[in-house]
Amino acid sequence: MTLDVDGLAVEVSRRAVKRMRLSVSPPDGRVRVVCPTRTPQREIAAFVRKHSAWIAKHRQRILGAAQSAPSYASGERHAVWGRPVTLNVRVGRPGARLDGDRLVLTAPADATPEQRADILHRWYGRQVLAAAARLLEHWSAVTGAHPEKLAARRMRTRWGSYSSRTDRIALSTELARYDPLCLEYVVVHELAHTRESGHGPAFQALMDAWLPDWRHRRSMLRQRP
């Protein structure tokens, strides 16, 4: 259902949860609340109003990013592992490669910005998978967790996820744009979820033991590369 809170459309999802959760999602800044099944609408509205400043801040950031979305054309500045590079678009078989400080992207002559973005993110995904596989060799030995599957895909609201059903870690292709320390943080974060599904004290204790500077690395992910 959609609830109008002082002119703001809020998507409400009632689930078997203990407390309300709030999120603002790209690319259009949609506001969502997940709440316990029987929560009255007045309590949901009060919850949204209480966090109005937080909502406004994150909607402004998301909408600002959407307005400055790249067109994936030659001359644009992008990032690979936290390092700025200049995009060079050429006509050819779809692919991408690094050439010094240039990121060479090849695409059909009639490729749209969305198609060029898809080509680049597939390349990003391969970089993430290769780097994450190396990290798992080390961290599986440290943590004792050995997930069966590793995947990389474009994610709208997460950096990674772990599924206990499939024993799979999925990672955002966007991580290839950030410092490698960020990828290591996300890998360890998802390995911690093989033991603790939530983010409570037990989860944080695992992260403190395995990766003491994880909070700093998490803050790095909140900055655009």
pLDDT digits (tens, 9 = 90+) for 160-201: 999 999 999 999 999 999 999 999 999 999 999 999 988 999
141 pLDDT higher than 90 = yes
CB-based contacts of 96, cutoff 8 Å, min separation 6: 103, 104, 105, 106, 119, 120, 123
Q: Are 158 and 174 in contact (CB under 8 A)?
A: no
C-alpha pair distances (Å), 122 with each of 66, 85, 126, 133, 154:
21, 17, 6, 17, 9
How much of the chain, in percent, has pLDDT values that exceed 70? 97
pLDDT digits (tens, 9 = 90+) for 13-66: 999 999 999 999 876 788 999 999 999 999 999 999 999 999 998 888 777 665
Q: Are 217 and 184 in contact (CB under 8 A)?
A: yes
CA distance 169 to 140: 12
How many Å separate Cα 62 from the centre of its chain? Answer: 13
Provide the token pair at 111. Answer: 């490729």
pLDDT at 156: 80
CB-based contacts of 82, cutoff 8 Å, min separation 6: 177, 178, 179, 180, 182, 225
Q: What is the pTM of this model?
A: 0.71
pLDDT at 188: 97
pLDDT at 66: 53
Structural domains in the chain plus CATH codes = 2-67 (no CATH), 77-116 (no CATH), 123-220 (3.30.2010.10)
